[in-house]
Structure 1
Amino acid sequence: MSESVWLRADRPRRDAPPLTRERIVAEAVALLDEEGAGRLTMRRLAERLDTGSTTLYWHVKTKEDVLELALDHIFGDVPVPAPGPDRRRDVVELMSGWRRAMLDHPWSAAVLGGRPLLGPNVLARTDHLYAALASTGLSGPRVATAAYAVANYVIGSALMEVGARGGEADDSGAVAHLARHRDVYPSLAEHGRLSGDGWDAAFTEGLGCLLDGIARRTGRGD
């Protein structure tokens, strides 16, 4: 992967530039929301911006630049809780907002992997997560380990939910398949599959289980 857009200095602006990075990112997010990451190309983005590819490349070098900028933009909508006495609540609120941002922009979870995520919005929220976890009594490498565990849980749950919701119209076929093969997959047939509002409750309970485990590592568990 090429060097992150966040590690390169901004190019000097031309006089009265016809295009801004902010406008490029807003249009890129709109395109991604409407059509998904597979349809994002520099040419299509330039067309939507009613400009030429040369002008677009003046502001962003590659499609990867655009994706990095778009990801950081959507995470800017995630509220950062004011630090309070209940840091576990802070983590739950922050991670719930992170999940909601990914569900509101279904393309995002699938393109997170392999990107450094060094934008200011992501870094500010990640720093808040680290601070909240450190305040529970974790220290050293365990802070990063816990942060990775929580972040990976949120990303994975969003990715699974986006995929499942995309195929919910055909979910009855999957249920019927498990019922027919109950003898082979008894636990799946008994406990069923998540759908509809069940995802919200499952996410909250799963995050709680994860945080309970982290708390026990610090001696503050129940």
Structure 2
Amino acid sequence: MTVWDRPEPPTRPVPLDRERIVAAAVALADEGGLDEVSLRKVAARLKAGPMRLYGYIATKEELFDLMVDEVQAEILPEAPPGDWRETLRVLAHRTRQTVLRHEWLADLLGGRPTLGPNGLAVTEARLAALHGLADIDTVLRAAETVSAYTTGAIRREVANLRAERATGLSKSDWQRANGPHVTRMLATGRFPALSKAVHEATHVDAEESFEAGLDWVLDAVAAKLARP
């Protein structure tokens, strides 16, 4: 029986429910990452005994599932955005924005799909946008491809943000610090393609890069959908 199917225990002194437990866990994760989340710390924040929480949540993994589902509600737009391409674009951007608000979510994306109501609703929105445009296998591959790009790009962005905090160096500071080494390596002539990219390419910020990559993925999906 999943955590969503299991009934909650009766109310006792110091009122608890899964909604309050999950809200406290999300707040802890927002403040310090997933390492700050434990049933003991959640119980302390709610001024309840740790054993009380086990009536509602059996394991930390269940708690993580509930946390992911809670914030996935932020991905869903209030109204359908439009055609399939605009719908997938909006869902991708809202996923990125949600992860930037809840950075810990990047560590829990990309595995098995979450089975909570919000996670299922996000999946439904992706598939519904493509419904009727191709056979179901093509629809599934298209949705998975856009989702895989979105997850990978977001994880890379979050990794860079964490590196900046860990080193105290912004992207430009890091580039300046490592510039002499890179210059020496490029001067060997062993990396001509990389040298061209370093010296001639237009360097864009994370949002511009995300948008450009998403456009390319959506173009590829459109080409697949256009095939007989």
TM-score, length-normalised on structure 2?
0.83
In 1, Cα distance between equivalents of 2:2 and 2:12: 26
SS at match of 2:111: coil
The 8 Å contact of residues 81 and 94 in structure 1, kept in 2 or not, is answered as no
Query: CA shift at 1:82, angstroms?
Result: 3.1
**How large is the RMSD of aligned CA atoms in angstroms?**
2.4
In 1, Cα distance between equivalents of 2:102 and 2:110: 15
Matched, 1:19 2:16: yes
Query: CA shift at 1:187, angstroms?
Result: 3.6
Query: CA shift at 1:113, angstroms?
Result: 4.2
In 2, Cα distance between equivalents of 1:152 and 1:45: 32
User: Which residue among 178, 185, 188 is the counterpart of 2:182?
Assistant: 178
Q: Which amino acid aligns with 2:185?
A: H
Aligned CA distance change for structure 1 residues 49 and 16 (closer, same or farther; 3 Å): closer
Matches within 5 A, 1:4-43: 4-6=2-4, 8-14=5-11, 18-43=15-40
Query: CA shift at 1:40, angstroms?
Result: 1.6
| Structure 2 unaligned blocks of 5 or more | none
Q: Which moved more, 1:103-112 or 1:199-208?
A: 103-112
Query: Counterpart of 1:208?
Result: 215
Query: CA shift at 1:112, angstroms?
Result: 2.6
Aligned CA distance change for structure 1 residues 119 and 178 (closer, same or farther; 3 Å): farther
Larger Rg: 2
Query: CA shift at 1:133, angstroms?
Result: 2.0
TM-score, length-normalised on structure 1?
0.85
In 2, Cα distance between equivalents of 1:218 and 1:25: 40
What per-residue deviation string (whole Å, max 9, x for no partner) do you get for residues 151-186 of structure 1? 111111111101111223162334554333224444
After the TM superposition, which segments of 4 or more aligned residues of structure 1 sit over 6 Å from their partners?
none
Aligned CA distance change for structure 1 residues 22 and 84 (closer, same or farther; 3 Å): closer
The alignment covers a number of residue pairs equal to 214
Query: CA shift at 1:14, angstroms?
Result: 3.4
| Structure 1 unaligned blocks of 5 or more | none
Query: Counterpart of 1:157?
Result: 153
Query: CA shift at 1:101, angstroms?
Result: 0.5
The 8 Å contact of residues 134 and 143 in structure 1, kept in 2 or not, is answered as yes
What per-residue deviation string (whole Å, max 9, x for no partner) do you get for residues 90-148 of structure 1? 1111111011101111111112343430111111121011111234x222211111111
Query: Share of identical aligned residues, percent?
Result: 35
The 8 Å contact of residues 80 and 125 in structure 1, kept in 2 or not, is answered as no
Query: Counterpart of 2:197?
Result: 191
In 2, Cα distance between equivalents of 1:201 and 1:208: 11
In 1, Cα distance between equivalents of 2:98 and 2:82: 26
Query: CA shift at 1:81, angstroms?
Result: 5.8
Matched, 1:124 2:121: yes
Q: Which moved more, 1:143-152 or 1:178-187?
A: 178-187
In 1, Cα distance between equivalents of 2:122 and 2:219: 21
